[in-house]
Structure 1
Amino acid sequence: MMIKLWFLLFLLFLTIFGKAQETAQVSDSLKGLKPATTNISEVIIQSVQRSIKMNEGNVVMTVSGNKNFRTSTNLLEVLRKTPGVTIDQEDGIFIGGRITPAIFINGKPIVMSSQELQSYLRSLSPEMVESIEVNTNPSSKYDAEFKGIIDIKLKENTNIGWRGSYTGVIYANKFNYRENALNLSHNTEKVVYTLQMGYNDGISTYRYHALQRLANTNVMRTNTYQEDAGKVYNIQAGADFKLNDKNRFGINVRSNFRANDRFRTGSLYTTDKSESQLVFNTANESPTHYKQDNYGITTEYSFQGKTFTFNFLGNYLGVRNNQKDDFINRDIATNDLLSHWRSDLVNKIDIYTAQIDISQKIGNADIEAGIKYSHSDTHNNIRYDTLSVGNQFIFDPARSNLYSYKEKIWAGYLAYRQKFSLLQINAGMRLENTNSISNAITVDSVVTRNYLEWLPSFSANYAFNKSSELSLSYSRRITRPVFSQLNPFRFYFSPLNYWIGNPYLLPSFTSQIKLTYRYKSWITSFTIGKEKDVMTRYPLYNPETNVLEYLGTNLPYRKFASLETSFPIKLTRWWNITTQFAGYYNYEFRPYLGEVFTLGIYNYEIRLNQTFSLPKGYTVNLFANYESQTGNSLYIIKPRYAVDLSVQKSWLKNKLNTKIGYNNIFDSYDQSLEFRHKQIMDNRFTHWWDSSKLFISASYNFGNSKFQVKEIQKTDEENRIR
């Protein structure tokens, strides 16, 4: 452990030492070198500035052509190195601490399941993406449930003809995992056709360890090992029709198919409090077959006049899940069967959305308005059968569950934007009406909600000059509980550990203020806010059965603040460093088991992304990430870190791009938690994922594009971030 910490300190020392050397070199240059040399150094600084900028308080990062992302295999890897963005071990995306953002493509939201979204982002190479904009305080123009937005702007192909690219990646750990992506496009003067196909397969592993001192003073150790063999197929086809100079119509259809065979083994090893006498030792097996089919279609139409624009966007997403599990428990000493139950889950989700946005320019002011309707319908049927004394499986009504959830949302907004010399003002108001019906059919429980909310926003941006600007914004957002948080049936981690949904959860509301300042390429932001009716989970231990379950509830409130800063440093012509620092504060008011726990938690994250441009076209990237100890009112989360190393080289006039690297070199990014209040429960557990992997990647570009068509008209918003 000490060696790993010294390694991180050494990386930090290199950064500081390199900066000191650069400062000394600049000082010497001012004394003795010719003015021409000074001009060259200024050109270098401008080159760094073009990779990062600010748009109305949001960080905009250039991706294609950015040396910092040259060794990244796909867009998920790019996001890991983007300031303000975090990717966890299961490829979950977070910004501003632990906010799950909405993903936009070219300024429009995409309606995908989380697994389909991960597959899509893995199919995008850095060369296909022009920029990424990270918005941690969206205005009233956007859905109120969007606490944050990552807008991915794809590169436009303006050449007539067709072109394509293939990317293949192999990840090697105990087992291999392979990713394949094929992207094709064909341009005519009036239509752009696109086709994306992908196939991923391989085996991933996961481990879970827990230590719990039971109420009768016995000590129980839980160990779980899981192998997940999965296959993912996806295909996406689209056409964008330029009807004339003012009218465009587009359609996109897609499918994503996933199949997983998961085998999980575990044990419960229990001793007395001295840990010298064995109480019981059981083994459990849980083979699982999981299948998910996704179908989606998107249609859009836009009219762009001289001062008036009209946009329509429609989305449909259909998700079909099917999962079959066995839960088998045996006594290890005698191999006697203790229990055996099976589950059969069928889950169907249908989501429809339609929205219209219009804008009118009046002088130097813009008036925008829009309306949106969304409808989601989810049905969940899980059946459990338990092996009886007669060696027959019998329906288990205690575990089985039939549940449905329907939600309709009507929303409208009005926004105003105007620029006064160096000052730009944005103000908006959003109105959302939510109507939901939660029906737990098995227990005959129906929960209906119908509520109307006004959600304002305001922002002001002032540009002092080309090098510095200041932005201040305010917004009020709503977070509705998702289906998995509401569904009142059990999701098992082990025979004595599971979590269960709560159909009575209320939506939470967040009000926050964000201040952002940019000086050249140095961007710093400070956010402060308060969230009411916070949705969270809490543990409940049964001393008679030794079952530990996690239940959902609403906390009265929490207060939070964050400070984030990032800046690039060009030490030499061949050595670039991007430094990111984020500090977080979280204060919870948490009632729990008749007591109230209040605790202010401070934590921070540091990232160093170093890029070395070596002779003969080689690029080396060294990325280090450290997260300090954090947690909440009930749990302590231990510190962790990761170090990635990768090398990139282009061949055949940049048509062939090869990459090799090792992610999480020291296998140090597991997550360990410990319950704070030992008088209530002594519980510690660790999640480990096989994120320490060697990878090899190759991508090849081909096609016969020859000459350019006229550039497609862009909106004012698109032009501002160029």
Structure 2
Amino acid sequence: MKKVNLLILLVLPLFCLAQPALKLKGKIASETTPLEWADILVLNQEGKIIDGTTTKQDGSFEINLKNGSYKIGISLLGFTDFEKEISLEKDTNLGTIVLKENETKLSEVVIQNKKKTIEQKTDRLVYNLENNVNTTGGDALSAINTAPGVVVKNDVITILGKGTSRVMIDGRLIELRGEELNNFLKSISAGDIKNIEIISNPPAKYEADGTGGLINIIMKKGTRDSWKNTATASYDQNKYGIYTLRDNFFYNKNKFRFSAGVNGRTGYKNADENLEMYFPDGLSKMSSTTKVKNENFSGKLALDYDLSERTTIGFQFMNDRNNPDFGSDIRIEKYNLQNELQNVTLNKSFTDKGSKNQTYNAHLITKLDSLNRKLSFDADYFNYNSKFDRDFIANNYMPNMEFVGVNQAGRNISNQDIENWSFKADMEHPFQKFNLSYGAKMSFTNSISNVLFYDNISGTPVLDPNQSNRFKYNENNQAVYINGDKKINDKWNLQIGLRLENTQTTGFSETLDQENVNDYLKLFPTFYASYKKNENNTFSLNYGKRINRPRFDLLNPFKVYINSNSYSEGNPFLRPSFSDNFELAHSYKESFRTSVFLNVITNGYGVVFTSILETNTQIITRENYFKGLTYGLGESYSAGFADWWQSENSLYFLGSQTEFTNNINARPSNSLQIDFTTNNTFILGKTTKLQIDFNYSTPFKNGLYEVGYVSSFDIGFKQDLFNKSLQVAFLANDIFNTSYLKDFTSVVNGVKQVYSQNESNRFVRLSVVYNFGNKKINVKERNFGNQDERKRTGN
């Protein structure tokens, strides 16, 4: 904690430093009269809004800015937009700027500016969804899977070549991972997403957790002085059907902004699994068919109020409930060395599964002075709880299916409750020669999980204390950061940051009477440099250190039986892994992007499929068992081959080197992986679009595992009706049913295991989206007090 206090003492005096403000003023008028209520926006060189105001009754305006280069944007309903680049070195008067009236006289003019699908920023890639037809009627998880360089596979979200990524919404980290995170993302409509930021090397402001960086989902905000409602209905057909209904409402008037949404989904999907285990005495083959219920209901509420022109307060609430009950039929066949069937085990089970989570956020944002010093406070509360109740019976049979006896019968009941509180403060502090930001965050997490096992082989349930457990886990984290960026000249930009995180964890198994305590203090530096050689060529170099903390459930040492010959167990001694990430990138005309990256991983952990040869038992555990590096070359190309054809393409070459640091009786192997993606949008008319997407990833080896190929071919179609008030979309996803996990192979203790899983990725979807509202409601005053929020969100 001494280091934390020292860093705070170094940071606090910077609040007192400032620079003289420069005045930018002028007047806005038509050819005949001054114009009141014209919007004046000030953007930096990266195109981000940093300040703004509206003109007074006489058309005049005045803004205080620091020394630098800016773009000024002026807009008013019924007039043509005006833009001008300026270099501010002293007080400047722009004089009278005359706006031209639009030639088409309409009661309302909607100005549309088609955004680029991919935008490269200094420290992130921004993916705009509006051009992708296949996200219409979909959810946030499917939208993330269409983002460049991002892959969603087996409940894991990764950035190619980087590793597992954490997910944020509007800059706030979601305290969920794996299946729980994916279910939560499925409750968010893709139509509510403004864009997705892929931050492979996050700045010091963000949490250091996640070796694969961060995926930041930026949600849409309501347009000023308007209200809007969007209703969406969709139907997915795979082996079974899934219905989805969504409704989202936005209201923005004067100083008040409000949004609310509800989402409901019901139906079923099919999941098939296959596992082959080659034991010394013969093959054990398992196949499973599962019918999974997709039942979800979620809601969200957000409101913001401008206390003054400089201060905004706000509140957000999200609630998500899932009930993914499922029934499974598992068949296990045992063969001898002559490949003759010896016996069969049939395991039939039904699982009553449910989860719910609630997220609360309260925030305050205040602009301290005319120099754009801005202070924000956030308080967050998150609660997640789940239940798992599984009844099963496994019977043994002879090869001719003659009944032998009951192998195992029982009932698994488990519950988990996770609670998280976090508090953070962030300061944006511009100086004359550079920009500084700094802040602090505290986070407190408590997790309790219970496992009860009842043996029912006699027909009467009997609690087995040896297979029952209660596990408590606490994690506290304190962090401070400082980040500075400087535009050296028109060609060079530098950014450097440092984040200090202090973490304490305690895990206690009541059944085993075992407690594990960790306490570690770590520094996480970041560095970015960009060089704009000319209008066509930009180079960038970045570095960041990251940590990957284990999920709470992975630390529970208790065994959970999948069937009589297979169980999963956690590892209370599991430690975080660390990575040092380097990346060099080049952009040509903002359409051709090249990146070369290297990630050095230490104390790496992951799933290990091992076995007990004497009983032919499979064990799924987690170990810190490797160190190594991953490296790659990524090429992406944005092209407009014609006015009616827009194409986004990427090609990645990925490699790795792995060294096992734990005695797991296995040998590492690595190979090259090639991943190719092409997304093509065809404009068939003013209101009609066709989308054709294709992805292919070659088989590859990485450390302990070998993975088979993955590919997907998707076709989407969207028709706009009634001036885009109504949209009808059709999607055929994974037409050839080739995007599932296949041939997932490992060899441990001399036992080869090959696993495949198919979760109904092939489906067709019909979606209908209806938009209505009032784009210009009456206001009592035209106050630009929400400008702070607009700057915060990029709107």
Aligned 8 A contact 2:312 2:788 in 1: no
Structure-2 separation of matches of 1:398 and 1:628: 44
The residue type paired with residue 726 of structure 2 is: L
Q: 1:650 to 1:194 in 2, by over 3 A?
A: same
Structure-2 separation of matches of 1:493 and 1:339: 11
Gaps of 5+ in 2: 1-112
Aligned 8 A contact 2:410 2:457 in 1: no
Residue aligning to 1:73? 138
1:89 deviation in Å?
A: 5.5
| 1:451-530 equivalences in 2 (<5 Å) | 451-520=520-589, 521-530=591-600
Aligned 8 A contact 2:151 2:157 in 1: yes
The two structures, once aligned, show a CA RMSD in angstroms of: 2.4
Q: Which residue, out of 669, 672, 696, partners 2:766?
A: 696
The residue type paired with residue 588 of structure 2 is: Y
Structure-2 separation of matches of 1:117 and 1:212: 30
1:411 deviation in Å?
A: 0.6
Structure-1 separation of matches of 2:225 and 2:417: 42
Residue aligning to 2:343? 280
Residue aligning to 2:497? 428
Structure-1 separation of matches of 2:171 and 2:444: 22
Percentage of pairs with the same residue: 21
Structure-2 separation of matches of 1:572 and 1:127: 27
Q: Which residue, out of 573, 579, 590, partners 2:649?
A: 579
SS in 2 for 1:244: coil
Q: What is the TM-score when the length of structure 2 is the normalising length?
A: 0.80
Q: Which moved more, 1:670-679 or 1:418-427?
A: 670-679
Aligned 8 A contact 2:412 2:453 in 1: yes
| 1:634-713 equivalences in 2 (<5 Å) | 634-673=704-743, 675=745, 677=747, 680-707=750-777, 712-713=786-787
Aligned 8 A contact 1:96 1:136 in 2: no
Residue aligning to 1:450? 519
1:671 deviation in Å?
A: 1.5
Aligned 8 A contact 1:250 1:300 in 2: yes
Structure-2 separation of matches of 1:492 and 1:466: 61
The residue type paired with residue 378 of structure 2 is: L
| 1:203-352 equivalences in 2 (<5 Å) | 203-216=268-281, 218-276=282-340, 278-304=341-367, 305-307=369-371, 308-332=373-397, 333-335=401-403, 336-352=405-421
Residue aligning to 1:26? none
Structure-1 separation of matches of 2:500 and 2:151: 31
Q: Which moved more, 1:230-239 or 1:439-448?
A: 230-239
Residue aligning to 1:605? 675
Q: Which residue, out of 475, 479, 484, partners 1:407?
A: 475
Residue aligning to 2:243? 178
1:195 deviation in Å?
A: 0.6
- 1:422-443 deviation line (CA, Å, top 9, x unaligned): 2111111111111110101111
1:452 deviation in Å?
A: 0.8
Residue aligning to 1:39? none
1:356 matches 2:422:
no
Structure-1 separation of matches of 2:376 and 2:346: 58
Structure-2 separation of matches of 1:57 and 1:295: 31
The residue type paired with residue 340 of structure 1 is: A
Q: 1:85 to 1:498 in 2, by over 3 A?
A: same
For these two proteins, the number of residue pairs brought into alignment is 670
| 1:10-29 equivalences in 2 (<5 Å) | none
Structure-1 separation of matches of 2:513 and 2:190: 51
Residue aligning to 2:484? 416
SS in 2 for 1:614: strand
Structure-1 separation of matches of 2:226 and 2:133: 31
Structure-2 separation of matches of 1:660 and 1:221: 39
SS in 2 for 1:137: coil
Aligned 8 A contact 1:272 1:279 in 2: yes
More helix by share: 1
Aligned 8 A contact 1:57 1:470 in 2: no
SS in 1 for 2:575: coil
Q: Which moved more, 1:50-59 or 1:245-254?
A: 50-59
SS in 2 for 1:442: coil
Structure-2 separation of matches of 1:375 and 1:170: 40
1:60 matches 2:126:
yes
SS in 2 for 1:512: strand
Q: Which residue, out of 200, 217, 223, partners 1:152?
A: 217
The residue type paired with residue 738 of structure 2 is: S
Aligned 8 A contact 1:672 1:686 in 2: yes
Structure-1 separation of matches of 2:712 and 2:383: 37
1:343 deviation in Å?
A: 1.3
Q: Which moved more, 1:120-129 or 1:663-672?
A: 120-129
Structure-1 separation of matches of 2:151 and 2:600: 22
1:717 deviation in Å?
A: 7.8
Q: Which moved more, 1:463-472 or 1:531-540?
A: 463-472
1:73 deviation in Å?
A: 3.1
Structure-1 separation of matches of 2:665 and 2:615: 23
1:542 matches 2:616:
no
Residue aligning to 2:90? none
- 1:354-387 deviation line (CA, Å, top 9, x unaligned): 1111121110311211110001000011110102
Q: 1:52 to 1:232 in 2, by over 3 A?
A: same
1:152 deviation in Å?
A: 2.6
Q: 1:667 to 1:254 in 2, by over 3 A?
A: same
Gaps of 5+ in 1: 1-46
Aligned 8 A contact 1:60 1:132 in 2: yes
Structure-1 separation of matches of 2:118 and 2:536: 12
Larger radius of gyration: 2
Structure-2 separation of matches of 1:527 and 1:296: 35
SS in 2 for 1:260: coil
Q: 1:509 to 1:98 in 2, by over 3 A?
A: closer
Q: 1:150 to 1:201 in 2, by over 3 A?
A: same
Aligned 8 A contact 1:57 1:471 in 2: no
Aligned 8 A contact 2:189 2:246 in 1: no
Q: What is the TM-score when the length of structure 1 is the normalising length?
A: 0.88
Q: 1:460 to 1:254 in 2, by over 3 A?
A: same
1:592 deviation in Å?
A: 6.0
Q: 1:449 to 1:166 in 2, by over 3 A?
A: same
1:134 matches 2:208:
no
1:617 matches 2:669:
no
